[in-house]
Structure 1
Amino acid sequence: MKYIVPMCAVLLLSACATQPVTSGIAVEQNKGNFNDQLRVDNPDLGEKLAITDVKTRQTNQLTDVVVTLSSQYKKSQYLQYQFKWFDKDGFLIKGNHSPWQPLTLFGFANTQLPGLAPSSDAVTFSLAVRKVSTESQEFKD
């Protein structure tokens, strides 16, 4: 547990022409209060979501995390989330990212997002959450 320095919650919403742009809220926990390091990239989504708790533990030599995501908004939000895992040097563990998982977060509700490292080399993580459009998509020729 002493080697765990979790990084949490990078909320993604949009992209620019050359590379993805992070939007929403991001937070890192470094043995202190993770709210002290909260970063808001997208004020609209950042006002509607909050990270209210991050818990970590070791389970069979694997990092096990639970991130509590809270709605600060009265309506339901349709989201997706994905964990990525990093080694002790901060490098992304290749071939290791979970598929995007659907998430409906009801108004003013909390939900826990669980993650389990794929190997004992994974000691930190990031959690990406993005908004899902509820509008129909049309393709134009």
Structure 2
Amino acid sequence: MYKINYKAVALAFILQVLAGGIWYASTPFKLLGRPVWEDVSAQPSIGVMLLFVFSCFACLFFTAWILARVKGMSGSERFFLVIGMWLFVALPNHFFVSLHLDLNDVDVWYLLSYGVVNSVIAAIILPLWRPSRSIFKN
């Protein structure tokens, strides 16, 4: 059984939060009803931003935990495992959002695109950067 590479988790987390900031800054006008940079009072509260950061970390750490429990898979197989996990989460979300919100397909895929970016970041960094092994036992 492999250990979780905490350096890889930290790097992926930083990249995911940066991608989230860029993703939010590029929100289409139709979704917010205004440009992102206008009306600073309508920006997300500190609580919402902390919830966003915590949820990114929780999802990433859970993915790293699952990858640490998988044996006998190469790095490329682990890459496809992470991408597959996103697919089994995103496709049901696409149908749910499409049914319950009055959004077109482009807007729904924009909302779900941040998950794609997070999954690709996690799929590249976590499976391919394994923890260093020590000859010393604790």
Do the structures match in fold with TM over 0.5?
no
TM interval, shorter chain, is under 0.3
User: Structure 2 length as normaliser, TM-score?
Assistant: 0.26
User: Structure 1 length as normaliser, TM-score?
Assistant: 0.26
